[in-house]
Structure formats: structure tokens, C-alpha cells
Amino acid sequence: MTYQRLTRDQMAARVARDIPEGAYVNLGIGLPTMVSNYLPKDREILLHSENGLLGMGPTPPAGEEDEDLINAGKQPVTLLDGGAYFHHGDSFAMMRGGHLDICVLGAFQVSANGDLANWHTGAPDAIPAVGGAMDLAIGAKKVLVMMEHQTKQGDSKVVPECTYPLTGIGCVDRIYTDLAVLDVTSEGLVVHEMVAGLSFDELQSMTAVPLISDFQKKDA
């Protein structure tokens, strides 16, 4: 049986499914911003943006953008009823003070023990941009990472140790890729879910660290 990698929209929808009622959530720049378009309509979820928004809504329809209403990635957004604007400093106080339940971040690499590298590849021509990622990585109660499973060259982005500059140490709780959902545990990376048609052995062959299947863990 053949498998099909998830599209970026499907990845965003998968992450959105796991965000619970009443959560205060920050969506990082890049792929994570797409999650806002797939949040369940029957759940009250308050989105925070580090540039000073709480109660951020989905992307506006084409032609209805407000140039003064943007997220931290400078993309146009909407504001839900009851939403609020506040100072950048207050926004970072929320992040650093443990007031966010969840943050969803993109990544270049995640290590087997949950170290995160997402702001710089170390390449000479790369532009480093940590932004608020390190504040979110240590300040949010739960850190979810959303990324492709492999680089364009076919290398695993889930690694034994990060070779890029670190954003945070041991901060990642769950990894969502275009192939699988992996939980970071004290026993190792546990495969919570895989795309249809993909075998555990195939997933392992594309991952640079040993994996534990959820089924194996339950039997242990």
C-alpha cells in the first residue's frame, strides 16, 4: 500500500484538532500560522500574537485585508469579537510569564530529547531571526512543532542532537510532520500516528533516531 504525505493545509488541520477548548495559543511564523484557518468552530480558542494581539481570527478574504491588522509574520489577520490590542512589552510578559497554554512553532531540527532549533541554520548567507521563539519555547505550557519530516535533500529533521543553533533545550512536547505525529517522552520518541499506508519500518528508515510505536509502548 502506498502512502501520501500530508499537504501543509492537512498538517495545519491535524494540529488544530488537538487544540482544546479555552486554550490560549500562540502560532509561530511560517507554517504554524495556517493552523488558525482550521480551528474547530465549536471551540473557543484565544490566539495570541507576539506583536500585541489576543483574540486573533483567521486570514481575511481577499480584498478585505486591513493593513493595520497583522500577525507577527506581517500577514493580514482578523480580530474576533472581544479581541484586544496591547503593547509589545506586555505581549512578551504574557509569553515569558507562563500565561500561554500552547505554542505551535516551525523548526529546522528537533532532537530526540525535545531540543529545538528553529531560528538559524548557521549557513553564511542565512539571516538569523529568533524573534520571540525562545521566549515561547520556555514560556508556553506546551510546545508543539509543525514541520516537514525531511529536508529537501532527504535528510531527517528529527535528529539525535541538533546541529543548528538551539532555540530551547528539552522544550518540545509533540512533533507534527507530513508523515507522522511523534510524542517526546522520557523513554524516547513515541509514534502516536502515521499517515495511511506508511509502515512503521518505512517511517523509521526516514528518521535519524530510534522510534517507539504507540502500540509497543502500550504493551510494555
| Residues identified as active-site | 50
Instruction: Report the distance separating Cα 92 and Cα 10, nearest Å.
Output: 30
Q: How many C-alpha atoms does 77 have within 13 Å on its Cβ side?
A: 29
Collapsed DSSP state (helix, strand, coil) of residue 92: helix
Sequence-distant (6+) residues with CB within 8 A of 195 are 3, 4, 5, 6, 178, 179, 180
What is the CB neighbour count within 10 angstroms for residue 98? 11
Residue 116 near residue 105, CB atoms below 8 Å: yes
Which residue's entry shows cell 505550557?
A: 141
Sequence-distant (6+) residues with CB within 8 A of 203 are 179, 180, 191, 194, 211
Largest CA distance in the chain: 55
